[in-house]
Structure 1
């Protein structure tokens, strides 16, 4: 398949460090795909959990994946502003099936005023032991958490003021 083209749809697959499938987003529209980054969007897409339960996303979301960063960012468009959910994760991989990454538990929720909360530190500590995260991975993840927080403070990349609006407009074009 190579890189998907703008307007194509693809799944997103999240895995855990032990290789277990964690979560699948059924359909995401590609807005931009290069070797360095992929930007996609979805709205009311079905999400399947590892135990088979399903749910449907509630609002439009712009998804940002980077080949050199150990995090991905989902900007969710809500009535009161853009909320971001950031996963500390491996850089993305792409194959004929999906955009794929390893979810390393730590998350950052960013509010419309750009304040944030770091989430799931207990889950990270538990999985670090249970799945035997190597020290080098632990160091990479902590460094990239700091990079992510810097991006938030600096309004860089997907946190830039016009980023989500610009890509949402592109999504609306493809969803007609």
Structure 2
């Protein structure tokens, strides 16, 4: 049973060897279903593996599709919506903790929906250091292609109005639970 909308959850990402990678202190659930979990946060504390802490600068809508090898953070800025797509294992949600394994590669998407693939060198390095099995490497590559297909097709979080609609819902849910 998923926590109800309005519940605050913590998001944690790990590396392939299960070492801690990064956490987002507080994300408010907006929607949960058999297909997807959508949350929102704003100026949330992020903790890195080395202990550094920082706060996000803008509101964001986070989308985690069940069984998907990527998740999407849509950052709402004055000049448009920027997306950061983490390539990682399908998520697990236990209680108020959502976690996944981060597989290094990211797709950064700009407001005009052009995109850049980031961290190829990190992926190559960690593939060797952390001994990624061939099926994981192949699945990560497929996930990058899936993200690009979604961007081109304007699917899911990339469809027109998606982020705005969920951001409005986030503001209502957050205000109801403060």
Question: If the TM-score is normalised by the length of the shorter chain, which range does it land in?
Answer: over 0.9
Quote the residue 2:40 is aligned against: 41
Instruction: Give the Cα separation in 2 of the matches to 1:21 and 1:168.
Output: 29
| TM-score computed with the length of structure 1 as normaliser | 0.97
Quote the residue 1:92 is aligned against: 91
Runs of 4+ in 1 over 6 A off after TM superposition: none
Shift of 1:163: 0.6
Quote the residue 1:19 is aligned against: 18
Shift of 1:97: 4.3
1:4 partnered with 2:3: yes
Quote the residue 1:123 is aligned against: 122
Instruction: Give the Cα separation in 1 of the matches to 2:25 and 2:35.
Output: 23
SS of residue paired to 1:35: coil
C-alpha contact (below 8 Å) 2:70/2:147 kept by paired residues: yes
Gaps of 5+ in 1: none
SS of residue paired to 2:67: coil
The number of residue pairs the alignment matches comes to 175
Instruction: Give the Cα separation in 1 of the matches to 2:162 and 2:91.
Output: 20
Instruction: Give the Cα separation in 1 of the matches to 2:164 and 2:39.
Output: 13
Quote the residue 1:109 is aligned against: 108
Q: What CA RMSD, in Å, does the superposition of the two structures yield over aligned residues?
A: 0.8
1:59 partnered with 2:71: no
User: 1:87-117: CA deviations, max 9, x gaps?
Assistant: 0101110112411010000001000000000
| TM-score computed with the length of structure 2 as normaliser | 0.96
SS of residue paired to 1:40: strand
Instruction: Give the Cα separation in 2 of the matches to 1:23 and 1:61.
Output: 17
Instruction: Give the Cα separation in 2 of the matches to 1:117 and 1:58.
Output: 21
SS of residue paired to 2:3: coil
SS of residue paired to 2:6: coil
Gaps of 5+ in 2: none
Instruction: Give the Cα separation in 2 of the matches to 1:144 and 1:47.
Output: 25
After superposing the two structures, state which structure 1 stretch, 113-122 or 29-38, moved more.
29-38
Change (3 A) 1:97 1:20: farther
1:161 partnered with 2:160: yes
Quote the residue 1:141 is aligned against: 140
Quote the residue 1:75 is aligned against: 74
